[in-house]
């Protein structure tokens, strides 16, 4: 019998995340793609937990798997999730070869050459004593205060942009004869 170790759990969760992301790009129906993406987000949140980032894992579940994916599902329901016919073509072959090349290069960059270790002050023991949310909050409101405030400005700009897009509807385009 094999025993369940930390490494095994991390490996299986990572494998499930990869399989779910494959499901996102291979399913024909948009609704199944969205469901696979939710599964992928949850797997990633579990991985965040396993790498001692509890606060970010909670934010991942709430913001991504909750809010963003509900938005996606609403839009799919609104537009009618039509199935997409997928056939092999030359463009697809080119895209596949490009992605394969990119993957090979990234793997090469991942395995060749040592990275120089930098050791910070916040190790797993400190995290376990203080708590992830408190450490993140202290960092966010002391050293990274300006980017935090700029992010709020960014969200405000996005909200104003949405209102502009929704409030002034353009006239329906007449179908042109070809």
Residues 117-176 that bind other proteins (CB under 8 A): 117-124, 132, 135-136, 139-140, 144, 147, 151, 154-155, 157-159, 161-162, 165-166, 169-173
Instruction: Report the residue number, 1 or 169, with the smaller CB distance to other proteins.
Output: 169
Ranges within 56-115 binding other proteins (CB under 8 A): 56, 59-60, 63-64, 67-68, 71-72, 75-76, 78-79, 82, 84, 86, 91-92, 95-96, 98-100, 102-103, 106-107, 110-111, 115
* Residues near other proteins (CB under 8 A), total: 83
Tokens at residue 109, please?
Answer: 């960059």
Q: Which residue has the tokens 């909200």?
A: 159
Q: Which residue has the tokens 């697809």?
A: 92
Cα distance between residue 144 and residue 133, in whole Å: 15
Q: Name the 3-class secondary structure at 15.
A: helix
Cα distance between residue 127 and residue 140, in whole Å: 15
Tokens at residue 85, please?
Answer: 């016919």
CB of 70 to other proteins, least distance (A): 11
Instruction: Report the residue number, 1 or 124, with the smaller CB distance to other proteins.
Output: 124
What is the sign of the dihedral through the CA atoms of 94, 108, 60 and 146?
A: negative
Among 24, 39, 58, 61, binds other proteins (CB under 8 A): 24
Cα distance between residue 39 and residue 19, in whole Å: 10
Cα distance between residue 141 and residue 158, in whole Å: 23
CB of 119 to other proteins, least distance (A): 6
Instruction: Report the residue number, 1 or 125, with the smaller CB distance to other proteins.
Output: 125
Q: Does 46 bind other proteins (CB under 8 A)?
A: no
């Amino acid at each position: 019998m094999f025993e369940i170790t930390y490494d095994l759990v991390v490996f299986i969760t990572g494998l499930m995340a990869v399989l779910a992301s494959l499901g996102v790009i291979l399913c024909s129906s948009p609704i199944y793609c969205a469901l696979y993406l939710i599964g992928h987000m949850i797997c990633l949140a579990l991985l965040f937990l396993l790498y001692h980032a509890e606060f970010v894992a909670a934010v991942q579940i709430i913001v991504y798997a909750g809010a963003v994916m509900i938005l996606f599902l609403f839009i799919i329901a609104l537009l009618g999730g039509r199935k997409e016919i997928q056939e092999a073509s030359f463009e697809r072959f080119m895209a596949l070869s490009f992605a394969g090349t990119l993957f090979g290069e990234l793997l090469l960059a991942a395995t060749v050459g040592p990275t120089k270790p930098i050791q910070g002050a916040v190790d797993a023991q400190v995290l376990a004593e203080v708590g992830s949310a408190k450490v993140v909050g202290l960092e966010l409101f002391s050293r990274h205060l300006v980017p935090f405030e700029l992010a709020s400005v960014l969200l405000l700009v996005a909200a104003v942009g949405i209102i502009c897009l929704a409030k002034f509807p353009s006239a329906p385009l007449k179908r042109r004869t070809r």
